[in-house]
Structure 1
């Protein structure tokens, strides 16, 4: 039995190692190609660049308007994450720490909404934003992201708030701490791994999201980086500036890589704490 389990683990490790090497190889090739001229990409696609050039990055950032797409995404993503985190933290705290009629039904309903495909919501959401005059605005897209990523954030944070002992609240109240101060100063720091976990997952999802951005913010001056990348891909059919396209891909990947390398231990801690305690 142990031998069979050991063989199964070895097989899993081999598959994961091969898959990781493939992904690393592709990313390395894209990074290497972003420093090449178009001629080098065609003549020596697998070789290191003879002389690395930053012209592709300058072209992607300025000529291809990646700077505009990048800043749009930064504003929309971070505003969405902030709004979603604040609302989900307050809601999960209220639903797990206070007793009131219909609490469990409301919590189950909110979590159940995670199972509704976003494609089914496109028409009603568009109709509502159209009535509010928020179609093709950053505010409208931010509100959509907050609403759609709220259930996942609530699901994660409720698992953390449930684990906090009631004695903490009672001690804070005895010491004269108000409700909001007790939440902000005592409860919120204790669920920090959960807050970081949902922030990272929401960042990756919203940063790479395409469909909602295409429907609710299709104007050129509002395009996010995912829409911009698709537009750049279409333009390559006529300009063949492949070096610039590879540079644009690297620019799009940099924030995600930096955030994961910086916060990966907090993400793992958040997931494991949620698995054990929630």
Structure 2
């Protein structure tokens, strides 16, 4: 009898809760409103840049005030951008090859180094790891002359391969640090169980450890890709042939203009093209990216 009465009370309470109107707490409302405002602030420059790239040449550099646009949308800015040098597609292909090569090389070296610093014992390991991290405090501009001389000795000056080596060298200290943290989060019992099953060496790293640290690998590759895709100074210093220019160098040519005049429409078109791979990569890999950044933060 008591069970029946309890069930009835539970059903009545559930019905009242379901019938009552749903009200959001004030702090949740403020949180969502704040998120919307922040999103608008971050998206507004991107939207303005994309829309300005389709405006007429005389309106591309003016503020986006109504009535807008006056002369309608046009793709003339992209045509003028493609007419510069060897063409925007050729320079974009150079940038993509450099960024892809930098990502692959950085991931390969950083994964091996991170695994070694995390799992193997060696004399002076802490000191060597500290020296690697200390190189991040050296300004890149101070290394341009030594790097330039090294590339000349190697015969890689004015080549995309040399640029890949420079970018990978700059990215490796931080990448090794991230991969060491990623491997530290993997329990050693998993590695010991794999050794009992007959896996060792590179097979253990490839088949067992690499899938477990995939968020860290994706984060390292994403950082390396975005850095090399947007880097300007090294490409300007180490490249001299126009057919090897990357997109940032092309953007410098567009912004310099002739006789002090700047084609703002072409500039906005170039910025739009440079944003596309970065946005797509981040949207596709954001889950791994966030997990990779937090690897090693909680023991």
With the length of structure 1 as denominator, give the TM-score of the two structures. 0.86
Tell me the C-alpha RMSD between the 2 structures. 2.7
Query: Cα 1:37–1:183, aligned 2, differ >3 Å: closer, same or farther?
Result: same
Query: Cα 1:49–1:90, aligned 2, differ >3 Å: closer, same or farther?
Result: farther
Pairing of 1:97-112 with structure 2 (within 5 A): 97-112=119-134
| Conserved 8 A contact 2:56-2:72 | no
| Conserved 8 A contact 1:88-1:150 | yes
| Conserved 8 A contact 2:52-2:60 | yes
From 138, 143, 159, the equivalent of 2:165 is: 143
Q: Report the alpha carbon displacement of residue 19 of structure 1 after superposing the two structures with TM.
A: 6.7
Q: Residue deviations 1:198-221, cap 9 Å, x none?
A: 222222222111111111123211
Q: Report the alpha carbon displacement of residue 52 of structure 1 after superposing the two structures with TM.
A: 2.7
The answer for the alignment partner of 2:145 in structure 1 is 123
The answer for the alignment partner of 2:292 in structure 1 is 270
The answer for the alignment partner of 2:88 in structure 1 is 66
Q: Is 2:60 the partner of 1:56?
A: no
The answer for the alignment partner of 2:43 in structure 1 is 24
Secondary structure at 1:177's aligned position in 2? coil
Equivalents in 1 of 2:292, 2:181: separation in Å? 10
Number of aligned positions between the proteins:
268
Pairing of 1:92-241 with structure 2 (within 5 A): 92-235=114-257, 241=263
| Conserved 8 A contact 1:73-1:207 | yes
Equivalents in 1 of 2:223, 2:63: separation in Å? 38
Query: Cα 1:167–1:43, aligned 2, differ >3 Å: closer, same or farther?
Result: closer
Equivalents in 2 of 1:272, 1:115: separation in Å? 22
Q: Report the alpha carbon displacement of residue 244 of structure 1 after superposing the two structures with TM.
A: 2.7
| Conserved 8 A contact 1:236-1:242 | no
Higher helix proportion: 1
Q: Residue deviations 1:28-73, cap 9 Å, x none?
A: 2221121122245478853146543233323323556211211111
Equivalents in 1 of 2:59, 2:170: separation in Å? 44
Equivalents in 1 of 2:152, 2:264: separation in Å? 38
Q: Residue deviations 1:136-171, cap 9 Å, x none?
A: 111111111111110010011101111222222222
Q: Which runs of 5+ in 1 are unaligned?
A: 1-9
Query: Cα 1:49–1:262, aligned 2, differ >3 Å: closer, same or farther?
Result: farther
Q: Which runs of 5+ in 2 are unaligned?
A: 1-29
Q: Report the alpha carbon displacement of residue 74 of structure 1 after superposing the two structures with TM.
A: 0.3
Equivalents in 2 of 1:170, 1:42: separation in Å? 62
Equivalents in 1 of 2:170, 2:297: separation in Å? 23
Equivalents in 2 of 1:190, 1:265: separation in Å? 14
With the length of structure 2 as denominator, give the TM-score of the two structures. 0.80
Pairing of 1:250-265 with structure 2 (within 5 A): 250-265=272-287
Q: Which moved more, 1:58-67 or 1:29-38?
A: 58-67
| Conserved 8 A contact 1:61-1:248 | no
